[in-house]
Every structure is written in structure tokens, then in C-alpha cells.
């Protein structure tokens, strides 16, 4: 029976997941540990509205459990020693060096966690992969634990997350399924049963799926690949719609009513972002190539190629529409997060569109209700396209959307924040340069009303 849980990693997955487990299992002690002192301090802050991860409803969940059976600290070794079960929820970015550069997952943090667990643990532990990992990573973790530990028994399980940022709390409270993979030995099955018992506190048993560990690892990559594939597919059709006079929204509605297809992930946009889709597909591509499955790798790689193309052509359309030059022109980007209801900007389309426009010497103003100025500049600096000083001279981040739009030649909607639909667009129009352009990268706004005001509106996938 699991009575004490340790989670290594207090990020977008570890923090919310452990908060919900603590909330739903008051008899289980949950320790979330991280070496990042500032991140832990933010989780322990008195103001629950300023947690390091923004998710609707998360503040209330943390408020109820923190201090009762939910704890955040930097005392990693102590939490490992006390735990019956240890979740590994650290970053697994795409490699930027060596073999597999640009595709394979960088597993150095996973290995460091495994070695730390092995060196500290003096009692039997269940070690649970929560990070998204390549197939057969559990085998590597098991080898490290077995060969470098203190002679104790470790059972390694795969328990991938399927939460979506912006709806993470609801996804955790009412999951479509919980997937747990483990070895088929008696010890492995016992470990699976122990973790099933934790989730069974609030998840119906029929929604808890158990598999072997390899199937569990691959299922996570496959789920994200399928979702991303749908986005790239509808975005590919959006370009065809623009050239033929069709409306991608009408096409999506028509095919989405087919029960075999369904309506989800069929909304055309400037492209998908976030920490998972691109990274997981690239991982899938790398795994396929490593087994010599060239055609399989090429198939999935095309999903990424289409997504990158969509971002580039969105930026190119802005330049083309503004008389083939944006040099010295003011362009307002509304939204920087990769999707609404999150402050996560990883792989956000806004970053890459902004970069393309900066290459054309545009002046950019950014407004996002949840993303800080420092994060915007960090994202641009990470691209290493230009110096920090140059980025700061060309990009201004403001706290007021009307200030962002004032005097602008064009507005680009980059994130589908609901508040954008409520703005006084008449007021914004009156303060912009004429003609006033809106490039709606999320098909969010009421185009006829905007055109009645006087805006020239260009929406993804709507032919002119």
C-alpha cells in the first residue's frame, strides 16, 4: 500500500498532478521536490494566485491540500528516503547535441534522478515514469537502479500523463483514462495494483488501464502524435481553402459531424505549440529511424514540417499584405502563450511568427494576460537569432491590450484568449494606422462585425 509519495520535479506536470493526488487522497502524504529554489518558493507562496503554473482551479486545489498532506521542498534525498512510491516528472527536452540531435529525447535528467534514487534509497520503492519518455526507457532506469543501488528492490512503472494545459485540473479530476504499465512478474503486478489503488480513490476502475511497460510508454507518444496529426491535417487544408475560396470552418464542421472523425482538434490555426506535440513526434521519428523504418519516420516527420510551414506562411502573409514590407512598422501580437488558460510558452507559434517579423525589421508589441515580459524576451533570446539588446529594442511587452494596439499597422491574434472577443474593437480601430489590418491566427473573432467597423481581416483558412 502506498502511503507516502515523492515526486521529483515541480513543473507543469508534477505540480498539478501531485496537488490533485493529495487533494483526492488525504491519507497519503505527498512531497513534491525540486532543486529550483525559486520554483519551490513560488509553490509555497502565500498568494495562491501566483503559483508558478497557471491553471484554472489549481490555486484552490493547492490551497486545500498544502500543509495538510501536500508539501513542496528542495529536500530531495529526504523525500526519496521516506517515500513508498517515487514519481519522476522532470524535463525531457529534445537533444541539442550529439547523436539524435534535433529529434531524440535528452534523458540526462531521467538518468540523474535514477542514480540519485539508487544512491539514497535503503528500502524497497516503486519508481514511476511520469515524464514522457521513449519506448524502453523503463528498462534503462531499472538497470541503473539494480546495478547502482543499495541492494533494495525497485519496481519501475510507466504512468504517462494525458492532461492538456488549460484544462489540466479537470483532466486530472475526471480523466478519460489512467494508464499504468509494468512488468508481468508477480512483483510488477503487485506494484501496478498499488498504484491502481491510489487512483481508485476517485477514478472509476474501468477508466484505469493496465498494460506492459513498453505499451504504456508508446501509447503516450502515439496519443500526442495522433492529435498533432489532426492539427497539421486541417492546417494543410486551410491553405487549400484560402486558394479556392472555401471556408475551413465550414469544412471542419462538415467532416466533424462524421462520427468516425469527430469534431475535436479540427480547428485551423497558426500552428500547434506546447511542450509535448513537437517533442514527442520528433522522438517517434527518431525511434523509427533507429529501427530502419524510414517510411514510418517520414510519415510522422511530415506533421512537423506542415506545422512549421503554417507558422512561416502566416508571418509571410502579414508581410505580403502590408505591401511587402513591415520594416519600421508597428505590429501588435495579442497572445504569447501557446494556448489560452496557461502561462506556458514552450514552442508557442507566437515566438516563431515574431522572429520572422523581426527578421523583416518590424517593431513588435506583445500583450498576453498571463505571460511576463521577462519570459517573452527569454523565449526570443533562446532562438539565438539576434542579441538580447536587439530583441529588447525591437520588441516591447505591455500590460494593456489597448496600448499594444495603439498606432499599430496590424494586429495578429496568436492565442485564443477569450478576453480578446470582448474588446472595444471600435476604439482600437480609431487608434490604429489606416488601413487597419487584423490577422486572426486562431479564427477567434467575429469577422463581419470587424469588417463593418473598417478592419481588413485575414483569417486562417478562409478564401477571399
Secondary structure (3-state) at 103: coil
Neighbours of 55 (CB within 10 A): 26
Residues in a beta bridge with 339: none
User: Annotated catalytic, 7?
Assistant: no
**Most distant CA pair in the chain, distance:** 74
**Are 331 and 317 spatial neighbours (Cβ–Cβ below 8 Å)?**
no
Cα atoms in the Cβ-side hemisphere of radius 13 Å centred on 246: 16
Q: How far apart are CA 332 and CA 364, in angstroms?
A: 6
Active-site residue, from 113, 276, 354, 405: 276
Where does 167-293 have alpha helices with state H?
Answer: 168-173, 186-199, 213-244, 248-256, 277-290
Q: How far apart are CA 127 and CA 87, in angstroms?
A: 6
Q: How far apart are CA 285 and CA 301, in angstroms?
A: 6
Question: E-strand spans in 34-187?
Answer: 70-73, 85-88, 125-129, 154-158, 178-182
Active site residues: 276
Amino acid at each position: 500500500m502506498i502511503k507516502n509519495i515523492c515526486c521529483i520535479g515541480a513543473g507543469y506536470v508534477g505540480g498539478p498532478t501531485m496537488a490533485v493526488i493529495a487533494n483526492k487522497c488525504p491519507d497519503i502524504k505527498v512531497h513534491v521536490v525540486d532543486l529550483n529554489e525559486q520554483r519551490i518558493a513560488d509553490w509555497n507562496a502565500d498568494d495562491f494566485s501566483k503559483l508558478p503554473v497557471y491553471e484554472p482551479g489549481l490555486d484552490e486545489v493547492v490551497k486545500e491540500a498544502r500543509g495538510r498532506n501536500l508539501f513542496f521542498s528542495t529536500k530531495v534525498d529526504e523525500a526519496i528516503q521516506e517515500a513508498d512510491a517515487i514519481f519522476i516528472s522532470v524535463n525531457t527536452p529534445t537533444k541539442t547535441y550529439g547523436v539524435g540531435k534535433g529529434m531524440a529525447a535528452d534523458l540526462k535528467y531521467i538518468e540523474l534522478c535514477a542514480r540519485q534514487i539508487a544512491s539514497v534509497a535503503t528500502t524497497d520503492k516503486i519508481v514511476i515514469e511520469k515524464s514522457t519518455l521513449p519506448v524502453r526507457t523503463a528498462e534503462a532506469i531499472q538497470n541503473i537502479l539494480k546495478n547502482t543501488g543499495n541492494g533494495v528492490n525497485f519496481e519501475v512503472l510507466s504512468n504517462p500523463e494525458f492532461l492538456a494545459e488549460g484544462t489540466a485540473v479537470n483532466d486530472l479530476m475526471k480523466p478519460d483514462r489512467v494508464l499504468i504499465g509494468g512488468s508481468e512478474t508477480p512483483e510488477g503486478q503487485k506494484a501496478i495494483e498499488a498504484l491502481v489503488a491510489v487512483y481508485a480513490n476517485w477514478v472509476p476502475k474501468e477508466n484505469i488501464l493496465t498494460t506492459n511497460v513498453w505499451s504504456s510508454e508508446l501509447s503516450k507518444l502515439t496519443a500526442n502524435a495522433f492529435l498533432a496529426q489532426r492539427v497539421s491535417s486541417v492546417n494543410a487544408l486551410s491553405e487549400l481553402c484560402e486558394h479556392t475560396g472555401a471556408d475551413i470552418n465550414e469544412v471542419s464542421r462538415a467532416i466533424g459531424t462524421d462520427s468516425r472523425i469527430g469534431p475535436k482538434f479540427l480547428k485551423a490555426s497558426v500552428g500547434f505549440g506546447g511542450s509535448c506535440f513537437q517533442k514527442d513526434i520528433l522522438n517517434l521519428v527518431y525511434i523509427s529511424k533507429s529501427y530502419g523504418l524510414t517510411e514510418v519516420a517520414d510519415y510522422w516527420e511530415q506533421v512537423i514540417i506542415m506545422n512549421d510551414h503554417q507558422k512561416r506562411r502566416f508571418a509571410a502573409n502579414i508581410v505580403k499584405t502590408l505591401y511587402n514590407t513591415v520594416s519600421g512598422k508597428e505590429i501588435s501580437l495579442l497572445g504569447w502563450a501557446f494556448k489560452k488558460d496557461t502561462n506556458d510558452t514552450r514552442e508557442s507559434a507566437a515566438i516563431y511568427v515574431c522572429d520572422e517579423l523581426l527578421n523583416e525589421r518590424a517593431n513588435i508589441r506583445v500583450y498576453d494576460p498571463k505571460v511576463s515580459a521577462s519570459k517573452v524576451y527569454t523565449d526570443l533570446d533562446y532562438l539565438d537569432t539576434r542579441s538580447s539588446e536587439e530583441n529588447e529594442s525591437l520588441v516591447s511587452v505591455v500590460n494593456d491590450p489597448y496600448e499594444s494596439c495603439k498606432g499599430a499597422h496590424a494586429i495578429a491574434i496568436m492565442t485564443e484568449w477569450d478576453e480578446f472577443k470582448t474588446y472595444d474593437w471600435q476604439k482600437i480601430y480609431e487608434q490604429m494606422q489606416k488601413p487597419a489590418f487584423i490577422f486572426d491566427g486562431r479564427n477567434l473573432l467575429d469577422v463581419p462585425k470587424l469588417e463593418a467597423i473598417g478592419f481588413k481581416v485575414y483569417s486562417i483558412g478562409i478564401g477571399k
